[in-house]
Amino acid sequence: MTNVEKRVTELVEEKIAEKPNLFLVSVKMHSQGKLLILIDGDNGLDVGDCAEISRHVGFHLEEENVLADAYTLEVSSPGIDAPLTLPRQFVKNYGRQVSLKLQDGSKREGKLLALTTDHLKIEEKIKPKGKKAELIESNIPTDDIVETKVLISFK
């Protein structure tokens, strides 16, 4: 993490301390001066929250002259196609369908039920050959999971 990213993280944490339902997902300083801050919330995130954080961070970066070159500041939520990375994101999505990409290259899908320090519990639909599909609970070791994404349903 660069010094800029560390300072921006401090500024974001300072601002969201006023709103305990919000949490920082990541801060990344990209090449060509793009500073991207991803925020999420237990009950979602609205544009007003993004604007407040952007103003707070932008003001302090300018006041402290943290960045010598021109930059673009972007504050947003991770988006529906972004993988879940923090335990709070998993908890927020309990009951939703997720897709897991595993270390061995395989994929699994199911309803997200729980996350512990060592495994993720999902309810999968398994259809043994020649038998009726059944729902089973599976515990997948977190060390085996490369990526977890929420599946979007348009039903």
Question: How many CB atoms sit inside 10 A of residue 66's CB?
Answer: 16
The pTM of this model reads 0.84
Distance in angstroms (rounded) separating the CA atoms of residues 64 and 25: 24
Residue 8: what pLDDT?
A: 92
pLDDT of residue 121: 97
Assigned CATH for 3-76 = 3.30.300.70
Q: Residue 143 is which amino acid?
A: D
Q: 30-69, pLDDT tens digit by residue?
A: 888 899 999 999 988 899 999 999 999 999 999 988 887 8
Question: Residue 70: its pLDDT value, please?
Answer: 85
Fold of the CATH domain 87-150: SH3 type barrels. (2.30.30)
Please indicate whether the domains covering 3-76 and 87-150 agree at the CATH topology level: no
What pLDDT is recorded for position 68? Answer: 79
Q: In DSSP terms, which residues pair with 97 in a beta bridge? A: 111
